Amino acid sequence: MVSFFRRSQEKKKDSRILRVGLLNPVRTLDPRDAQDTVSVLVLVQIFETPYAPPAADEPAEALLFDGPLREERAEGGRQVYSAGLRPGVRFADGTPLTAAHVVRSLSGAEGFVAQAEARADGERVRFVLHRPTRRFDLVLCQHFCSIVLEKGSERLGTGPYQIAPDATPERMRLVRNPHHWQDFPIDELEFVYFPPSAGGAPERLLAALEAGEIHFSNALSRDDVAKLQQVRKWFQPGNSTASLYFNTERSHLRDARVRRALALAIDRSELARICYENALAFTATSLLPPMMGAWRDGIRHTPRQARELLAEAAAPLPASLRMLMPWGPRSYLPQPQQVGAAVACQLGEVGVRVDQEPTQDSQQFYRRCAHGDFDLALIGWIADTADPADFLEANLSSRSIPEPGKSPAIRANMSRWRDSQIDALLARYREDPSEGNKVAVLERVGEEVPLLPLMYGPTIAVHSWRLKGFSPSPIGFPIFSRLDLEA
């Protein structure tokens, strides 16, 4: 690896090349279907959304539009907004961006069409919403709303970079989009995959960061970052939650008493201790991560009560439960193998055997989720926006159940939970985002236990002291064209 970097540096002495360290390779090149964070981190450098994600309740920054959304006269009782295009925006091949391009791209994104219809009106784009929402601009910030120009098998974006001909999933090289509407200092980006060791430790990535061969990474856990000395470190409040999802379509998991029993058998603080020294700060108490407020679901580790509930259940559990495992470390689950083994051990103590079933990559994981091919799923969700309604809907709405052939970008209801009451509560919270309506959603989850939140994931980034201009945000991904790399 060192020799590769030396050759690259000698070949391009006059170029500013920013290298980003990854613990998973890139899996997809279409932002409308991307689910894994590695792919999204790469794709937001190539494709732009109409707006950039804001923090909290701040206005969204216009990227491809010329200003904020303008509310129009309602159409058939539905909210209508419109916006004009920013002048001078072009795709990487020089094609000028038009309203028709925006409509065509958004109409191919399931995450968008589930919420609104887009229409071209001259050089303005009109949005007719399917349901009321207070912040439709937040929908247009999400990566599945990236604007894509399809030319044969090629996908072009309006972002600052484009894919280099020699790019691979393990070393994704991006070069300048010569037609981008802004100037920027960094010439190239290289996203380099460092496979973890057999035990899951990111030793190679840590060594590359210490040696200055990698300039940025947001793939490491808090405890791994503590081992580094030659980088700047950033920590932000948690924006993600790891959960154990119970497949409610399984006959033996339809009874809420069984799901509660499994939840009571699990010691969440012990699981958090596997990943963090300060376990108490990361142990989950509800589905929403800390940046969206605190709430307690009332579930405590009580093995005796777990056994009693299992004995009361009408349908006995099978000889073993199949637990679908993630394909690699996640920001909210830095030690998935060890946590999975601990979950199996804790459930074993109340007489429930669990077989861990690993997956090779995100495609295999979400394909099995789409077919409901599991009893338990160990995974989580990272906030796409600062709106708790988006986080809750992605995990709980019946519209968010994974299905074959459907994009996983908005489908995180791995519990496959269809509950008319929770759908009504989510709709009410979407229209009226009061604290009372949010608590009503969380209380219903605490009663029915379709999933058990396990631990929160902090937003962590490390970078070389040569990298200038970086400021972390709990929402969204860094846009590297806004940074600079000193010689």
Q: What one-letter code names the amino acid at 341?
A: A
Per-residue three-class SS string for 24-53: CCCCCCCCCCCCCHHHHHHHCCCCCCCEEC
Query: What gap in Å lies between CA 38 and CA 133, rounded to an integer?
Result: 29
Host H or E run for residue 163:
strand 161-163
Q: CA 485 to CA 276: how far, in whole Å?
A: 32
pLDDT tens digits for 176-185? 999 998 899 9
Rounded Cα–Cα distance for residues 87 and 73 (Å): 25
Its pTM stands at 0.84
Ramachandran bin of 283, using left for φ above 0, alpha for ψ from -120 to 50, beta for the remaining angles: beta
Mean pLDDT of the chain: 92
Q: Average pLDDT in the 271-279 region?
A: 92
Q: Rounded CA gap, 215 and 268, in Å?
A: 34
User: Which contiguous run of DSSP H or E holds residue 354?
Assistant: strand 354-357
Sequence-ordered list of residues with C-beta below 8 angstroms from that of 220, at least 6 positions apart, any chain: 23, 202, 205, 206, 334, 460, 462
| Selection from 348, 370, 359 nearest residue 325 by Cα | 359
Task: Please tell me the distance from the alpha carbon of residue 80 to that of residue 179, in angstroms, as a whole number.
Answer: 32
Burial tier of 118 (Cβ tally within 10 Å: 0-12, 13-18, 19+): buried
Residue 446 is encoded by which pair of tokens?
A: 């605490």
Q: Which residues, listed in sequence order, are joined to residue 233 by a DSSP beta bridge?
A: 462
pLDDT in tens, 320-337: 999 999 998 888 998 999
Could you read off the pLDDT of 354-368 as tens digits, one per residue? 999 999 988 899 999
Closest CA to 350 of 313, 308, 378: 308
pLDDT attached to residue 2: 46
Checking if the pLDDT of 7 tops 60, the result is no
Q: What is the pLDDT of residues 195-225, one digit of tens each?
A: 988 877 899 999 999 999 999 999 998 889 9
Q: Is the pLDDT of residue 14 over 60?
A: no
- Average the pLDDT over 287-298 and give the result: 93
Whether 97 and 64 have beta carbons less than 8 Å apart is answered as: yes
Distance in angstroms (rounded) separating the CA atoms of residues 274 and 240:
17
Round to whole Å and give the CA distance between 360 and 414.
18
3-state secondary structure of 150: strand
**Radius of gyration for the alpha carbons in the chain, expressed in angstroms and rounded:** 23
CB 143 within 8 A of CB 43: yes
User: Which residues lie below 8 Å from residue 129, measured CB to CB, with a gap of 6+?
Assistant: 78, 79, 80, 81, 115, 116, 136
Q: Give 353's contacts (C-beta < 8 A, 6+ positions apart).
A: 319, 320, 321, 344, 347
Stretch 96-117: mean pLDDT: 95
CB 20 within 8 A of CB 481: no
Helix, strand and coil in the chain, % to nearest 5? 30, 25, 45
Burial grade of 361 (CB within 10 A; 0-12, 13-18, 19 or more) = middle
Instruction: Give the mean model confidence (pLDDT) for residues 463-469.
Output: 96
Q: Which of 266, 241, 406 is nearest to 323 (CA)?
A: 266
Coil, strand or helix at 167: coil
Burial of 197 (C-beta count, 10 Å sphere; 0-12/13-18/19+): exposed
- Of 323, 236, 276, 191, which is closest to residue 455 (Cα–Cα)? 276
Q: Could you tell me if 416 and 261 are in contact, meaning their C-beta atoms sit under 8 angstroms apart?
A: no
Residue 479, pLDDT above cutoff 70: yes
The tokens of 285 are what? Answer: 């108490």
Residue 12's pLDDT band (cuts 50, 70, 90): low
Identify whether the C-beta of residue 15 lies closer than 8 Å to the C-beta of residue 208: no
Report CA torsion sign: 351, 352, 353, 354: negative
67 three-class SS: coil
Which value, to the nearest 10 degrees, does the dihedral of the CA atoms of residues 207, 209, 211, 212 take? 160
